[in-house]
Chains A and B, each alone.
Chain A
Amino acid sequence: MKQFMTIMRKEFLEYWRNFSWIWVPVVFIFLSIMDPLTTYYMPIILDSVGGLPEGAVFEIPELPAPEVLMMSLSEISMFGVLIIILLTMGTIAGERKSGIAELVLVKPVKYPIYITAKWLAKIKLFLTAFIIGMLVSWYYVNLLFDTIPFTDWLLTVIFYSFWLVFVVSLTIFYSTLLKNPGLVAAVSVGTLIGMSIINSIFSHHLTWFPNSLSSHILELHKSGSIPSELWGTAFVTIVLSIGLLFLSFFTFQKKELA
Chain B
Amino acid sequence: MELAEVGELLELLLPLFILQFILMIAALIAWVKTDQTKGPKWVWLLIIILANLVGPILFFIIGRRQD
Contacts and interface: CB of A to CB of B under 8 A. Distances in A.
B32 to A, nearest CB: 12
A94 B61 contact: no
Instruction: Name which of A20, A22, A41, A140 has the most chain B CB atoms within 10 A of its CB.
Output: A22
Contacts of B66: 90, 94, 98
Instruction: Name A's interface SS.
Output: helix
Contacts of A140: 12
A87 B23 contact: no
Interface residues of B, number: 23
A87 B57 CA distance: 12
Contacts of A20: 60
A23 B9 contact: no
A23 B1 contact: no
Contacts of B12: 37, 140, 143-144
Interface in A1-57: 18-20, 22-23, 26-27, 29-30, 33, 37, 41, 44, 47-48
A87 B67 CA distance: 15
A29 B53 CA distance: 12
B67 A97 contact: yes
Interface of B: 1, 5, 9, 12-13, 15-16, 19, 22-23, 26-27, 29-30, 53, 56-57, 60-62, 64, 66-67
17 contacts: A19-B27, A19-B30, A23-B27, A23-B56, A23-B57, A26-B19, A27-B23, A29-B19, A30-B19, A37-B12, A37-B16, A48-B1, A87-B61, A94-B66, A97-B67, A140-B12, A144-B12
